[in-house]
Amino acid sequence: MRKYITMALSVSFLGLAACSEDTLDRINKDNQHPSPDAVPAYLQLSDAIMSTGFNTVSGDYAFYLSSLNEQEIGVGNNQLMYAELRNSNEWAASTTFNNVWNSTYSNLQNIRQMIRKITNEVPGNIGQYDLLGMAQVLEALNFGVLTDMHGDIPYSEALQGQENLQPKIDAQKDVYAGILSTLDGAIANLEKGKSLKSTKNQDIAFGGDVNQWIATAHALKARYLLHQLAVDPSVLSQVETNAEKAIELGFKGFTIREFNGQTCDNPWSAFVWSRSYTASSLTVLNLMKATGDPRTDYYTYETGDAYTPGDEEISKVTDGSLAFPAWYDLGSQPIHLFSKHEVYFILAEAQLRLSKDATSAFQTAVETSVSEILSWFDDDTSASKYAESLNTPTLQTLFEQKYIAQCADEQVETYNDLRRVRAMGESYITLTNPKNTQSGINRYPERLPYGNSSVISNPNVKAAYGDGSYVYTDKTWVNK
């Protein structure tokens, strides 16, 4: 009897052991983080668009540059106060833009995964040329912002993960060539995928409208060609051609707004509500008053107040009592990844420089930008009449109006414009912050510092960063 009892217990223990091994196998399996290839590329599109808008185009870069451009005033006795007073430790530190540096490269990793799945024909992603083109447009835009802000950046060897943790830095000239090539590839793939509808429910910008993505690709080509004007005057005809193509395709503007009845807080609104770090700038208000701009009251929150750039007392105000643009208090205003008015301003500039009549393009740009702001406040003032009152444009009036139009959330492009025209020996916006020069030393950054994560982990970036002082002396390739 004892023998049979022993055998039964042995079998029972063996069963328990086997059960325990099966249980451990299940426990050790990561069901919450499947391999990248288990997720179809189209499910990554919404996040790629949102991150581009929320983090890269309208995040820390825009917040800081609003002060540098004098489109708003940095206040709050903290980071944006230091930015306003041109504190070198704030502008030259690798920690200042580390978050947006990391989030942009992380988003690019997501975008590159999408591209790889489709081009490598991973099951579930085969033949999705429409999605491939969209991912390429987003890649071009994200790398475009990175190189415009930082100059030479990790590009050709970037995003390889464990295969290359210390990518080389590529010259901005080569990055630009890559961006334009990527956009050409995007246009070809979008044309090829026109009949597909694989992205309709994930495309929070255009709802799967491939023509709008093609228009966006042409608009971006016009932008990045125009950025090179100081080093290559021959680009103007290509700028005009691509801007006209975007308009011909009915470009509505690449924006994130309400989608399927859902809205999210605009990043500028979230920033103002949580920090109270921005206020209206006298530089902008003076330009608005000079032409009777119908946006004036909304820019000053109907107070009529604006503040002198670089004012130390104003920059230290922390209680949120200062006037700021009222549109930041809406929360539901769209995020502009590339506005409709920008493509018309680009076309108008190209036409002016080519000695062509730019009146129609210029007035459409102004009307579009003004009417959008007025619509947010249910204001029926005629934007077209205001645009017509500006008459035939000059480069002076064009850049003034573009500067005002981009006060909402396009400060990144304003920074690009200010540096570009200065490189061409031109000046249309007079910056008045006395802190831009201190003790005879320039304190207006020619570029922004690299992110700290790369400075401390990548010897190539560390060598380029040095002590950070290069941001005041080394101009980027497109702005030399």
pLDDT for res 1:
47
Q: What is the pLDDT of residues 268-308, one digit of tens each?
A: 999 999 999 999 999 999 999 999 999 999 999 999 999 99
* CA distance from start to end of the chain: 96
* Domain spans of the chain, in order of start: 37-259+341-479
C-beta of residue 176 within 8 angstroms of C-beta of residue 470: no
- The pLDDT confidence band at residue 450, using thresholds 50, 70 and 90, is very high
pLDDT at 91 over 80: yes
Q: Which of 184, 223, 275, 267 lies closest to 420 in space, CA to CA?
A: 223
Q: What is the pLDDT of residues 96-153, one digit of tens each?
A: 999 999 999 999 999 999 999 999 999 999 999 999 999 999 999 999 999 999 999 9
Tell me the CA distances in angstroms from 394 to 349, 351, 363, 388, 389, one per residue in order.
Answer: 9, 11, 12, 14, 14
Burial of 38 (0-12, 13-18, 19+ CB in 10 A): exposed
Domain 37-259+341-479 sits in CATH 1.25.40.390: yes
Contacts of 157 (CB under 8 A, 6+ apart): 164, 167, 168, 170
pTM of the model: 0.92
Average pLDDT, the chain: 93
